[in-house]
Amino acid sequence: MNTPVASLAPSRRRSAKSSRSSAFTLIELLTVIAIIGVLAAILIPVVGKVRDNAKSSQCITNLRQNGVAIQNYAADNKGVLPAAGFFISGSSNRIYSLSPYVTADTRHLLNSILPYITVTKSKSWDTQTLVGQSYAPTFDCPAFKGNAGESSYQADRYVAVSDGTEIQPWGWHYKAGSVFITNPKPLKTTLLPADKVAIRDRSLGITEPNHSGYQNALYFDWHVGRVATNN
């Protein structure tokens, strides 16, 4: 039996109407795009701030662990700090750069406290001088904005005390002929000013601050705090 054509027309009209009602209009599409843009403008800065806070927290944790390692070294060495740097003829540096990479040069602080920290095989820096050497994660600030492989922490060579003079808490190595001599020698922890910074984020030569408006710092009483900067 033949079906009348007229009986199919209402069904087709309903299908076309349903298709039109389920499609996005241009205004609806633009509205959705605008909403997504507003949400992105709100969320992106928030996500960036959360990421920066996480890096700062890791930096603080690293400094705290380094403080524990230095205390353990001192406890095993008659209360004396480890030596932190070495002398280069003609150098006027007032800081020791504390590299996270362990090399054969034993004059650095990192080498002194190796038994008290965790090290891994270096993966992130592959220069000819450091291939196959070790890496100490606690000596690397994840927020550091300098070049890859640079030191992200520093120790001040000179520390001002209450009478207006300066002391040198860390040992200072220099070479006399083929022999390395430490002069001045590191101080005992009992002689250190508790309110002065032992180790901080490195900022010299870095145009963009690692943390906005402050540096994380380990003090000589071994607590970690913040030092305001002018950046």
Q: Sign of the C-alpha dihedral, residues 72, 74, 78, 84? A: positive
What pLDDT score was predicted for residue 81?
94
Both tokens of 112, joined, read 């002194």
Contact 202, 146 (CB under 8 A): yes
- For the chain, give every domain's residue range: 40-228
pLDDT along the chain (231 residues), means of 10: 52 53 72 81 68 82 94 94 73 77 75 86 55 77 77 88 89 76 87 92 63 86 86 49
Both tokens of 222, joined, read 């071994």
What pLDDT score was predicted for residue 195?
92
CA angle in degrees (0–180, nearest 5) for 206-101-99? 35
What pLDDT score was predicted for residue 1?
52
Residue 186 burial class via C-beta count within 10 angstroms: exposed 0-12, middle 13-18, buried 19 and up: buried
| CA dist., res. 46 & res. 43, Å (int) | 5
Q: For residue 128, give the H/E element and its range.
A: none
Q: Any residues with CB less than 8 A from the CB of 103 and at least 6 apart, and which?
A: 129, 130, 133
What pLDDT score was predicted for residue 197?
92
